[in-house]
Amino acid sequence: MGIRFVKGRLYVEMATARIGREIGDAVIKASKNPNRRWYGPHMAASVRAISERIPLVDFVLEIRDARIPLSSEYELLRKFSPLPSKRIVVLNKMELADPLELQKWMDYFQGRNYLSFAVNSHNKDCVKQFLNFLQSQVRELHKSGHSNHTTTMMLLGIPNVGKSALANSLHQIGRISAAEKGKLKHTTVSPQPGDTKDIMSLKIGSHPNVYVLDTPGIFPPTLLDVEICSKLALTGAIPDDIVGEIELARFFLTILNSSHEYKKWEKLCKSQDLTETLSSESLSNAQRKRQYPTDHTQDFIVYDVRRVLYETVSAFDGDFEDEISMGELIETQFAALRTVLRVTEEASEFAELRVASKILNLYRTGRLGHYTLEHVSALAKS
């Protein structure tokens, strides 16, 4: 299958992984198809608006996805000139990445003299730390002779890396910290890539005043790298309908099956009988009514999903590197997941789609483990 372990770490060689190659090829084909509105008028207009404003800002915050620190690079940044002297690489969605790999990426950027910071835009304490870091950079800027009382930071990034969520969190916490009154502003936050259409200014600090400019996510007019495209699709930067949720879910299961992540669920599965007994005895009638079997995000369903995945991978006696064997394992997992995800008996195609959609959601929200799809150690070998 082209997927193997080297010194305990997972490497997915996209040149030989059929499913990754197919996903990447589909994305590239879509980027060249004008009917897909890949690079529509709104993106071209956004590029012009950003290029006009970027010389006027004091900082550029390049927001990347911590799971794919290289593939989520904002390539268009290279075309903007002149750039502010202060550029900060922000690895967002750190809660979804492997913590050990994340630290290696932080060391990597530091070793290349990049200012960088890892953040979880949904964690208040983490955002506070990031805000303190930004304020320290503003103070340094003022010490160097920057006389303007107002500091402006522009958030740039590809679609769906969490720019708007981060901007909203900085705005909310910054306003509270400054004890400012007045109605909070909010930029549009959506799990779908490309929903931010306009540049919006949000205040995140006072004395001195600091503003962030939230910008639309932008890709280059065409994408050409198969490996990068497959990672962008899996992490949700590319609209799912371009590739298909079933193929993306299969791609994720291929990665999960070849990793060590599922082994963390072993103790949970061994204690299943005891847990079920205690839960059954302790649940009141009111609590039972609050359980919604069709809501796959509930803890008891997520638990069952983890258990099924652990059991199916542990029982697998085939070759993970064999494409046919891996395909058979994934088919077994899809069938078992239909039961635990409460997908009713219906047309097979629609049942598979519902399972795939739920599994992708659980992966992208971190409920099925932490995965970094790019590894610093691989750079030295390339």
For 303-313, what is the mean pLDDT? 94
Segment 170-181, tens digit of pLDDT: 999 987 665 555
Q: d(Cα 255, Cα 252) in Å, to the nearest integer?
A: 5
Residue type, 247: E
What's the whole-model pTM score?
Answer: 0.85
Among 166, 156, 160, 196, which residue's Cα sits nearest to residue 75? 156
Q: In what order do the strands lie in the sheet with 200-205?
A: 115-119, 86-92, 59-65, 151-156, 210-214, 200-205
Residue type, 300: F
* Neighbour-count burial for 326-350, b at 16+ CB within 10 Å, e otherwise: bbebbeebbebbbebbebeeeeeee
Position 3 confidence tier, pLDDT thresholds 50, 70, 90: very low
pLDDT reported for residue 295: 77
| Residue whose entry in the numeric block shows the structure tokens 């890396």 | 161
For 11-20, what is the mean pLDDT? 55
Q: d(Cα 129, Cα 166) in Å, to the nearest integer?
A: 13
Interaxial angle between packed helices 272-282 and 299-315, expressed in degrees from 0 to 180 and rounded to the nearest 10: 160
Segment 262-299, tens digit of pLDDT: 999 987 666 554 444 344 444 444 444 455 666 788 98
pLDDT reported for residue 184: 47
291: number of Cβ within 10 Å? 12
Position 24 confidence tier, pLDDT thresholds 50, 70, 90: very high
pLDDT reported for residue 381: 61
- Do 30 and 38 meet the contact criterion of CB atoms below 8 Å apart? yes
